[in-house]
Amino acid sequence: DTGVSQDPRHKITKRGQNVTFRCDPISEHNRLYWYRQTLGQGPEFLTYFQNEAQLEKSRLLSDRFSAERPKGSFSTLEIQRTEQGDSAMYLCASSPGTSGDTQYFGPGTRLTVL
Amino acid sequence: LAKTTQPISMDSYEGQEVNITCSHNNIATNDYITWYQQFPSQGPRFIIQGYKTKVTNEVASLFIPADRKSSTLSLPRVSLSDTAVYYCLVGDLNSGYSTLTFGKGTMLLVSP
């Protein structure tokens, strides 16, 4: 399977703990995105990388959230001191970075904060 | 910021053609129109993308009138497995990704 993969698929944690998610994009894609989706809503943009450079961050990305893409390949999203409001599906997408750039999504990581 | 408006839900029966219309009155010159499908607990799946006129692939057709202020996703002969949420997105895919917003989408229910 050469699609976008995410790990883990599910994560249950207690409030105040730190969690880290990983995303592996489609290999030739140089753009990578993180979104958050809550029940009944569409995905909300969090941040975007062009290769290893983080070029945009949404105001939704509070100081407790940090994302990296150290070598321009896989990316990690860390949430520190989790809160119950962080419970959501975290989606990763990648795109080739060409004209009419299409984003392809991974299966998501479902986070539950108790 | 191009905002989209879609029906919240639609109902259909197996074998029928379904047309979902999306309004985007303030679409900008460089904006593309993209449709995604999403099943519960899965990531959105790309369906089709266009800039103007008509685009067709093996899954759907996308009709865009000359003024580009709306677009219609056409699903031919739907089956039960087409029950999903469908999102219309409008945005300049080469800049400003934070402006590419999904909205709540259209929940399509296909019945036998």
Going by the DSSP 8-state scheme, the letter that residue A85 receives in this structure is G
Alpha carbon distance, N-terminus to C-terminus of chain A: 33
A vs B: CB pairs below 8 A: 57
CB contact under 8 A, B42 and A48: no
Measured between CA atoms, how close is A43 to chain B, in angstroms?
Answer: 6
CB contact under 8 A, B44 and A105: yes
In residues, how long is chain B? 112
Q: What's the pLDDT at A34?
A: 95
CB contact under 8 A, B104 and A41: yes
Q: How many CA atoms lie within 13 A of A76 on its CB side?
A: 10
Look at strands A5-7 and A53-57 and give their pairing: unpaired
pLDDT > 60? residue A27: yes
Measured between CA atoms, how close is A31 to chain B, in angstroms?
Answer: 11
Question: Which residues, at least 6 apart from A101, have a Cβ–Cβ distance to it below 8 Å?
Answer: A31, A95, B93, B94
User: Cα(A57)–Cα(A41) distance, rounded to whole angstroms?
Assistant: 20
CB atoms within 10 A of CB B59: 15
Q: Does B103 touch chain A (CB under 8 A)?
A: yes
- pLDDT tens for each residue of chain B, 112 residues long: 568 899 999 999 999 999 999 999 988 888 889 999 999 989 999 999 999 989 999 999 999 999 999 999 999 999 999 999 999 988 876 665 555 678 789 999 999 9
A97-108 per-position pLDDT tens digit: 776 678 899 999
Of A40 and A87, the structure prediction assigns the larger pLDDT to: A87
Tell me the chain A residues in contact with residue B97 when contact means C-beta distances shorter than 8 Å: 33, 45, 48, 56
User: Cα(B69)–Cα(B86) distance, rounded to whole angstroms?
Assistant: 18
User: Cα(B3)–Cα(A4) distance, rounded to whole angstroms?
Assistant: 27
- Strands in A5-7's sheet, in edge-to-edge order, are A5-7, A19-24, A75-79, A65-68
Look at strands A31-37 and A44-50 and give their pairing: antiparallel
pLDDT > 60? residue A10: yes
- Which tokens hold the place of A3? 């699609």
Of A29 and B91, the structure prediction assigns the larger pLDDT to: A29
φ, ψ (nearest 5 deg) of residue B81: -70, -5
A50-83 per-position pLDDT tens digit: 999 998 888 888 899 999 999 889 999 999 999 9
The chain-wide mean pLDDT, for chain A, equals: 92
| Cβ atoms of A70 and A60 closer than 8 Å | no
